Chain A
Amino acid sequence: MSGECKTDSRLEKILKSGQFAVTGECGPPRGADPEVIRKKCALLKSKADAFNITDNQTSVVRMSSISSAVVMMQEGLEPVMQMVCRDRNRIAIQSDILGGAALGIKNMLCLSGDHQKFGDHPQAKNVFDLDSIQLIRTVRTMRDEGKFMGGDDIKGAPKLFIGAAENPFADPFAIRVPRLAKKVAAGVEFIQTQCIFNLDKFKEWMKGVVDRGLHEKVYILGGVTPFKSLGMARYMASKVPGMDVPDHLIQRMKDTPKEKQAEEGIKIAVEIIQELKQVPGVAGVHIMAIEWEEKVGEIAEMAGLLPRPAV
């Protein structure tokens, strides 16, 4: 995995240099005002190495990932352009990959995408021409072989550092390591995991990852999300598909007075990061403070992850 960087991505440089990486997340606005992104960027700047720009997350229409990423770059932050398979066929996907790279985007995250049932347009037709693994293979082939899926040569290959997500907590658990192996075989270079609350289960998954040597082929960033409140903890435990929140964390939030719950949520997130740093094979963390961007810096600071290295 070490060796020369294939892109100009700052995230790739940090991971290849063996330093513990930190990524954050920035959700684009539900409107055309770029100031919303600029404000979030001001809160996030220097608090992590790169920041995911979500692609119509939970199937709710928002400003596009590519254009939001461009606004972020104008503010001096490095974006990770998320791309889901739900809304585009392979023609649009490859076209957007070229466009994103042309605009200076250096990282891309390949996702299947939430089903549109959860969003504000449940009537929509979904595409899923490709799935996330086929998308990884597509962008890797475009970058390293300079070929489109159709086989034609690309004049000017897109130099993107290629990521994907993986959920160690979804079922069936037996194929969760094999599924990561498929993503690695398809050409993924870094993984951001689903939010980790159940550390025991995460460690069990990581053991499987390390036993197969996959951690030597892909950088794994553990996903961390702070609870804002008991309500949010309960919501994540019961309403978000594929989320595993142990009862003892719910209880801990319950035992905390309401006005202190946000603080407790941050504390839990910091503790999880401290644990993740010790887990063999974990190369970094991905902090997802959903609509709570101002807390990313605080969490990173408390977890001893600041200042971020210059590369």
Chain B
Amino acid sequence: MVVGERKPFDEIKKTLEGHKKVLVLGCGGCVTVCLTGGHDAVQVLSSQLRMARDNEGSPLEIIEKTVERQCDPEYVEEVAALIPEVDAVLSMACGAGVQFMAERYTTTPLYPALNTTFVGGSVKEGYYVERCQTCGECKLAYTGGICPIARCSKSLLNGPCGGSTKGKCEIDPEVPCGWQLIVDRLEALGQMDRYEEINMACDWRTNRDGGPRKMIREDFQR
């Protein structure tokens, strides 16, 4: 899933300065799962904002709403009737959701409440970790199912570097060395011979470097 983290409250409050009525719009997708942008998060943030603005003597009226997904025009459309009522929208979706809203409602200011952080998963409740950098050319078949791009701090494809110590990365003793994980896994799989194959330089065109990406299912384009 896409993981997002709520921006610092003061930063959010500052973006809404001057606005009197806003829509705080949650997303029922990934950010609901990671507890930062769903229905409950909308309630909490809205209460905080109301209180803070009341204390400042400039009350803020808030409409609270959460749609199924903000990265889908069908659900984005659901708030069309609310938009004329507010002078700004605070989106609690990931960056994709915020942009789908901005593309649909072109004359209403749109602000993000989250920092979109990574593609990953939860190892336990409330604990999320990065696993994929969406490079566009999956290498997991060759690296024992552990990604060198996402898990190695230098994204080395023939690693590990000389900074791998007792299974940890040189940048932080709390960060596992991605290549230690790969080697351990290849050993467990009896595939250590794969380590000696040289991974050639990546074709980064499938990554962000090739420009904004799209994926089209031709069979659905009717």
Contact = CB atoms under 8 A, between A and B. Distances in A.
24 contacts: A85-B154, A112-B156, A115-B154, A115-B163, A117-B172, A129-B204, A131-B159, A133-B158, A134-B199, A138-B201, A149-B201, A170-B162, A171-B166, A171-B180, A172-B160, A172-B184, A174-B187, A178-B192, A178-B196, A179-B160, A186-B198, A194-B162, A242-B162, A242-B170
Contacts of A137: 198, 200
B71 interface: no
A39 B155 CA distance: 38
A137 B158 CA distance: 12
A137 to B, nearest CB: 7
Chain B interface mostly helix, strand, loop or mixed? loop
Contacts of A117: 153, 171-172
A117 B184 CA distance: 26
A130 interface: yes
A128 interface: yes
A172 B183 contact: yes
Interface in A155-188: 165-167, 170-172, 174-175, 178-179, 181-182, 185-186
A174 B164 CA distance: 12
B157 A126 contact: no
A257 interface: no
A166 B192 CA distance: 20
Interface of B: 153-167, 170-172, 177, 179-180, 183-184, 187, 192, 195-196, 198-202, 204
B163 A134 contact: no
A134 B192 CA distance: 20
A31 interface: no
Contacts of A171: 160, 164-167, 177, 180
A179 B166 CA distance: 17
A3 interface: no
B164 to A, nearest CB: 5
A170 B165 contact: yes
B176 to A, nearest CB: 11
Contact of A242 (B159, B165, B204): B165
Interface in A119-159: 126, 128-134, 137-138, 149
Contacts of B198: 133-134, 137, 182, 185-186
B170 A174 contact: no
A223 to B, nearest CB: 11
A224 B166 CA distance: 23
A172 B159 contact: no
Contact of A130 (B160, B164, B179, B201): B201
A117 B165 CA distance: 16
A149 B170 CA distance: 30
